[in-house]
């Protein structure tokens, strides 16, 4: 496979315009799927068999590059994907002690995401399929996040409620099957991870050595853990007047900016310094984000019960995406789950963030169900925006559900600030 990826993508894309002679038919034997993830700023490859065994994986993170740039620059992300994708795939195959002849199908994330990033993984995946005569499985990024929990929780049955929170997405949905989802709510502006990144930059947390190599969410969570008064800076949870499951983080960001500017002015903070009470402000911002997520989740649970969308005996919430790694948020979600008799399932941190394993696993589920496995894949294109399933957002609003909010006071109890273990 060496030297397949040189110069521009179009050159290596056109080098192997071959058919799919010898296309393998499905069989009951164990099959092996290779998955490629490149929707944003991480280049990942995972290899899984149809029994759920992780055979190999590799990941190249662009985190430090984009931290130094003050945010993700799509052309830069695309260049770094092109530079690293061949090595990442080769590394995954090497870690699995496999070659492409051992692979039964290749999957790649095709939507939603940054087009310049998606193109790299999709085109390279198609290239492998042409060269080695394999079928191609296009993957929806959010479906992959939603179903990752089933990899390590084989007993997790459909339907279940899923909350996906990351740097690019925030949504609530009911997963009915491998390819059928009902969308209950999504963000009308920023995603929570994006809000954390922007506020961490505005707080200048990276100017402190201990936060230098952390993402915005990680930095705010760490700073918040040092707070002595999380209520010093009051916030009101967003969208309280709207009886739906939509999310919004723009207002909380504006309030946070106001506090930063006020503190900088009143305390005479130098341009390269952080405000003295940055820990308290981080805690307050993290708390309002958590409350907002929990309140929308609570209404979703009420709606699901009213519509009988999930059997009472199988009530499960899956939370995934990069922001799901935040233990404070997970603890708040667990409080709501306990109140509503839901089981909270959270994949391990490395499977919550973008990775090739989740793509390969989603492809395994599709392979076994014989859904979305393509012999002729030339017409499959990447999509920047792609909804998750059929929308029930307006129906949620029409139900006009009022909630008596679950109390989250114990989140502020110091004895309770030890995080929660990963739910397996």
Give the whole-angstrom CA distance, residue 139 versus residue 122: 10
- List, for residues 203-256, the tens digit of each pLDDT value: 999 999 999 999 999 999 999 999 999 999 999 999 999 999 999 999 999 999
- List, for residues 331-387, the tens digit of each pLDDT value: 999 999 999 999 999 999 999 999 999 999 999 999 999 999 999 999 999 999 999
A 10 A CB-CB count for 249 gives 27
- Name residues whose C-beta falls within 8 Å of residue 376's C-beta, 6 or more positions apart in sequence: 20
- Judge whether 420 and 343 are in contact, CB under 8 Å: no
Give the whole-angstrom CA distance, residue 320 versus residue 150: 12
Give the whole-angstrom CA distance, residue 156 versus residue 305: 19
Q: What is the DSSP letter of 50?
A: T
- List residues bridging with 172 in a β-sheet: 163, 185
A 10 A CB-CB count for 209 gives 7
**188 in helix, strand or coil?**
coil
Angle at 64 (CA atoms; ends 63, 66), nearest 5 degrees: 70
pLDDT at 23: 37
Tell if the pTM clears 0.75, that is, is over it.
yes
């Amino acid at each position: 496979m060496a030297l397949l990826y040189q110069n521009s993508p179009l050159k290596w894309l056109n080098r192997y315009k071959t058919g799919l002679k010898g296309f393998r038919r499905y069989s009951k034997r164990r099959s092996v799927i290779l998955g490629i993830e490149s929707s944003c700023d991480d280049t990942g490859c995972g290899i899984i068999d149809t029994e759920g065994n992780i055979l190999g994986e590799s990941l190249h993170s662009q985190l430090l590059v984009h931290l130094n740039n003050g945010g993700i620059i799509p052309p830069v992300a695309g260049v770094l994907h092109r530079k690293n994708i061949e090595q990442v795939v080769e590394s995954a195959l090497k870690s699995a002690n496999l070659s492409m002849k051992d692979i039964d199908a290749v999957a790649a994330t095709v939507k939603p995401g940054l087009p310049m990033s998606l193109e790299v993984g999709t085109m390279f995946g198609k290239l492998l399929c042409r060269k080695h005569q394999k079928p191609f499985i296009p993957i929806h990024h959010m479906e992959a996040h939603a179903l990752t929990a089933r990899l390590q929780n084989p007993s997790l049955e459909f339907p279940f409620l899923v909350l996906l929170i990351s740097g690019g997405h925030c949504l609530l949905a009911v997963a009915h099957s491998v390819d059928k989802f009902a969308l209950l709510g999504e963000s009308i502006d920023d995603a929570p991870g994006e809000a954390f990144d922007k506020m961490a930059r505005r707080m200048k947390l990276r100017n402190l050595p201990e936060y230098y190599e952390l993402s915005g969410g990680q930095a705010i969570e760490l700073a918040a853990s040092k707070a002595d008064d999380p209520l010093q800076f009051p916030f009101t949870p967003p969208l309280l007047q709207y009886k739906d499951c939509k999310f919004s983080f723009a207002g909380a960001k504006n309030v946070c900016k106001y506090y930063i500017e006020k503190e900088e002015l009143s305390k005479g903070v130098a341009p390269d310094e952080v405000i003295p009470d940055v820990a308290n402000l981080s805690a307050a911002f993290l708390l309002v984000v958590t409350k907002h997520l929990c309140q929308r989740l609570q209404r979703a649970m009420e709606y699901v019960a009213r519509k009988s969308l999930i059997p009472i005996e199988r009530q499960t919430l899956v939370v995934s995406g990069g922001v799901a790694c935040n233990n404070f948020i997970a603890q708040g979600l667990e409080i709501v789950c306990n109140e509503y008799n839901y089981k909270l399932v959270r994949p391990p941190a490395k499977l919550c963030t973008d990775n090739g394993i989740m793509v390969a696993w989603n492809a395994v589920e599709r392979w076994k169900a014989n859904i979305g496995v393509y012999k002729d894949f030339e017409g499959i294109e990447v999509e920047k925006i792609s909804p998750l399933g059929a929308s029930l957002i307006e129906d949620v609003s029409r139900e006009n559900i009022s909630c008596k909010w679950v109390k989250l006071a114990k989140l502020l109890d110091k004895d309770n600030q030890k995080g929660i273990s990963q739910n397996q």
